[in-house]
């Protein structure tokens, strides 16, 4: 079930706020330097350095491992590795709490690390497929009671079983820089949040719809 969808198209932008086109989630709030710019089709969110957009915490966006959840988006990285972890998406357990869910670029490689926080601490899933600078890539991160699954361009890239329960990430969603780390440089588009664990066919359809 799709519970929130931010297209970042200009028609959804009101000042520094970007509406959720699914109609159930809050508006994304653009930081002072985040921008909406032309994208591949329509507009996209431009991020880099300390730029970010923040989606406030709401009951609709409390993600439960029991029911499963998925986060999917398209991204175009425009910079090579910079020697630091660069955040794409980050959602703490609660405001100013531990990292509940996160996706980062490696400091020295164009690969992704996904993280969930469990009752025994963080668990990680590291992608095998490198992202290509300057090219659009579709990413989907899917979680259920069995494990976490990272998809790149519609194909399953890595699956990691979860031996311990995931602590529900209920805090706000940061796009780009988080409070203590820089964000990736590039564009983000078509961010979707589901209150279900998408299967591979559904993820592939999303990627194909995004032209990858």
pTM: predicted TM-score of the whole model, two decimal places: 0.95
pLDDT digits (tens, 9 = 90+) for 108-152: 999 999 999 999 999 999 999 999 999 999 999 999 999 999 999
Q: Which two tokens stand for residue 6?
A: 């931010």
pLDDT at res. 55? 97
Give the bridge partners for 73, in sequence order: 139
**DSSP symbols for 135-199:** SEEEEEEEE-SSEEEEEETTEEEEEEE-SSPBPP--SPEEEE-BTTBPEEEEEEEEEEEESS---
Percent over 90 (pLDDT), the chain:
87
Query: 169 pLDDT exceeds 80?
Result: yes
What is the C-alpha separation between 160 and 155, in angstroms, rounded?
15
pLDDT at res. 180? 80
CB hemisphere CA count around 98 (13 angstroms):
14
Per domain, the residue ranges of the chain are 46-209
pLDDT at res. 192? 97
Greater model confidence, 84 or 99: 84
CB 113 within 8 A of CB 103: yes
Confidence of residue 178 (pLDDT cuts 50, 70, 90): confident
Greater model confidence, 116 or 98: 116
pLDDT digits (tens, 9 = 90+) for 9-34: 999 999 999 999 997 789 999 998 99
Confidence of residue 176 (pLDDT cuts 50, 70, 90): very high
Confidence of residue 181 (pLDDT cuts 50, 70, 90): confident
pLDDT digits (tens, 9 = 90+) for 36-94: 999 988 999 999 999 999 999 999 899 999 999 999 999 999 999 999 999 999 999 87
For the segment 93-101, the average pLDDT, to the nearest whole number, is 79
CB 189 within 8 A of CB 74: yes
Q: Write the class of the CATH domain 46-209.
A: mainly beta
Phi, psi of 112 (to 5 degrees): -105, 145
């Amino acid at each position: 079930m799709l519970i929130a969808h931010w297209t970042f198209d200009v028609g959804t932008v009101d000042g520094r706020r970007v509406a959720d086109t699914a109609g159930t989630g809050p508006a994304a709030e653009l930081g002072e330097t985040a921008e909406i710019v032309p994208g591949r089709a329509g507009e996209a969110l431009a991020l880099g350095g300390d730029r970010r957009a923040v989606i406030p915490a709401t009951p609709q966006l409390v993600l439960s491992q029991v029911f499963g959840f998925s986060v999917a988006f398209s991204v175009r990285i425009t910079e090579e590795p910079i020697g630091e972890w660069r955040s794409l998406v980050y959602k703490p357990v609660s405001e100013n709490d531990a990292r509940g869910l996160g996706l980062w670029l490696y400091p020295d490689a164009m690969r992704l690390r996904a993280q969930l926080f469990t009752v025994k601490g963080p668990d990680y899933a590291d992608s095998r497929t490198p992202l290509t600078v300057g090219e659009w890539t579709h990413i989907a991160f899917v979680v259920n009671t069995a494990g976490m699954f990272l998809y790149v361009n519609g194909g399953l890239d890595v699956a990691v079983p979860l031996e311990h329960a995931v602590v529900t990430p209920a805090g706000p969603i940061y796009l780009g820089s988080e409070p203590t780390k820089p964000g990736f440089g590039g564009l983000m588009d078509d961010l979707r949040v589901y209150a279900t664990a998408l299967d591979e066919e559904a993820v592939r359809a999303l990627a194909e719809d995004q032209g990858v």
